[in-house]
Amino acid sequence: MNDKEIIALYMSRDEKAIEYTRDKYSAYCFSIADKVLDNAEDNEECLNDVWLAVWNSIPPNNPASLSSYIGKITRNLSVKRLRAINRLKRGKSVTVCLDELSEALPSGESVEESFEKSELKESLEGFIRGQSKINRNIFICRYYYLDSIDEIAVRFGMTENQVKLRLFRMRKKLKDFLEKEGAV
């Protein structure tokens, strides 16, 4: 079943939409959750929350890309769950790569709080669009999909040092860009 048909089922409030979504996107969502949570039980609980969130948000939302929509929900719920876990116990955290970004956001807010501001979102999107295709992809892999440096290096046929250097330079450019735009 294609995405438009699945969305039509959501719009008509047919519960089979959840089943089709789960069949089509479980592996995709699991991989996103696993990058953040790195725990099979937490991943499964997160996916259950994802299916409920999708059910509750379509309608009124009518996403143009179901995979992107579900991926964003999965990532947001995974990060939310990770924060809750880390409040209870200070363990392994994917927030390292988000902390890297906080260098470019000198406002004193956390990265997540800053991303909620629409002005900052627009500026960030403009910055990313202005990057070369490879830099844009590296940036998105690191800070959206939370891929590790070594995973990015393998994917793009680079050394880890080359990836680190590109990310460092992009964070510096991002900081300058946001300051110039007055977004932070």
pLDDT value at position 92? 44
pTM above 0.85, yes or no: no
CATH number of 95-181: 1.10.10.10
Q: Is the pLDDT of residue 125 over 60?
A: yes
pLDDT value at position 148? 85
Cα separation, 170 vs 1, in Å, equals 40
* Domain boundaries, given as residue ranges, for the chain: 3-88, 95-181
173 to 54, 129, 138: CA distances (angstroms): 36, 13, 15
Q: Is the pLDDT of residue 165 over 80?
A: yes
CATH architecture type of domain 3-88: Orthogonal Bundle (1.10)
Over residues 21-80, the pLDDT tens digits come to: 999 999 999 999 998 888 889 889 999 999 999 999 998 889 999 999 999 999 989 988
